[in-house]
Amino acid sequence: MSESPLAANPYEVLGVAPTVSDDDLKRAYRRRLREAHPDTGGSSAEFERVQQAWQRVGTPAARSAYDSGREAGAGGATWSAGGASSGAGARRGDSRPNAKSHGHPGGFYRERYLAMMREWVGRGAPLDDPYDARLVRSAPREIRHTLAAAVAEERTATALATLGIGFTIWHDVVAGPAPDDKVDHIVLGPTGLWAVLSEDWGGPVKVKRGDLIGEGLAAGERPLHQLGIRAKAIARQAKVKFSGLVIVVEDSQAPASLTELGSVRGAQGMLVERSRLVNLIRTGLPGVGVGGTDLFEVRTRLQASIRFV
């Protein structure tokens, strides 16, 4: 199952309350297996989710570990700032030079998450570990989504760092007057200038009328349109032109690993799963790119005008 803070927990997948008895849990598992099986109208993806949920809580030992937050990979160590945010550097064992990076990926949403969590728990109440798996799972969706956004940015930063020394990256860049007016990542290299949004809506997204829809998106939310507006603000200030607008989601959350979304103010919109992101930016798009003196000039303009949230 997904490590996203927004992912449905095993009890939700099985359709029972966390306090259900072991016998009722087993009956629910068998019922959900029948419902999710492709031969009875379900899907292979849902069938796998049910099986994975059972693996996490199907035995007394596994259930006890999950309920207590001791399950390996269940939350705390993966979601904590020390685990993911340090990922902007090189992968362990990789001695190749990294892309030059500026800013703090995920930092804005980390700070917001901690403030929201403190407010939700209650002022004066103990909050020993704000990333405790049980605490995160019980928090309102808005709080979990904020943490998910931070983790998504950190994971994207880890991937982008491997682009190499020919690329420069700026994280958490101011793109307007409101606190949320920011671009998660700006990437400059021989293949062009890219504005990148890292997101995790907790489930699959689809393309409709050139933008994205999905159960995790708010009504009227238009991620590509909003990214275009923010990129335009940065482009005007720095007097540069973006080559691509990229929305990055978790693997398996998009209809394909790479999907074109159409052009926005002259920049090509793309929906990409994170495992495909580096290849996209390293390879570029046909007929798009900057090089030589142009690349140096664009970098100088951006460096002089960019501010961080």
Q: Which three-class secondary structure state does DSSP give residue 74? A: coil
Same domain, 63 and 89: no
Same domain, 25 and 127: no
Last residue of a domain, one of 49, 68, 87: 68
Same domain, 258 and 286: yes
Regarding predicted confidence, which is higher, 8 or 54?
54
Same domain, 106 and 177: yes
pLDDT tens, position by position, 166-182? 999 999 999 999 989 99
Residue 3 belongs to a domain: no
Report the pLDDT averaged over residues 43-57.
89
Using alpha carbons, select from 181, 298, 185 the residue that is nearest to residue 238.
298
Q: Which domain holds residue 137?
A: 76-305
What total of structural domains would you count in the chain? 2
pLDDT at 36 over 70: yes
Residue 219 belongs to a domain: yes
Residue 4 belongs to a domain: no
Q: Identify the pLDDT of residue 57.
A: 92
What b/e sequence results for 253-289 when a residue is b if at least 16 CB atoms lie within 10 Å of its CB, and e otherwise? bbeebebebeebeebbbbbbbbebbbebbeebbeeee
Same domain, 218 and 134: yes
Same domain, 42 and 121: no
User: CA dist 250 to 57, 106, 137, 197, 238, Å?
Assistant: 24, 16, 19, 12, 31
The pTM of this model reads 0.84
Last residue of a domain, one of 21, 44, 68: 68
- Residue 80 is classified by DSSP as S
Residue 5 belongs to a domain: no
Regarding predicted confidence, which is higher, 243 or 88?
243
Q: Identify the pLDDT of residue 161.
A: 95
Same domain, 26 and 146: no
Same domain, 60 and 164: no
Last residue of a domain, one of 21, 51, 68: 68
Q: Identify the pLDDT of residue 279.
A: 96
Residue 290 belongs to a domain: yes
Q: Identify the pLDDT of residue 43.
A: 85
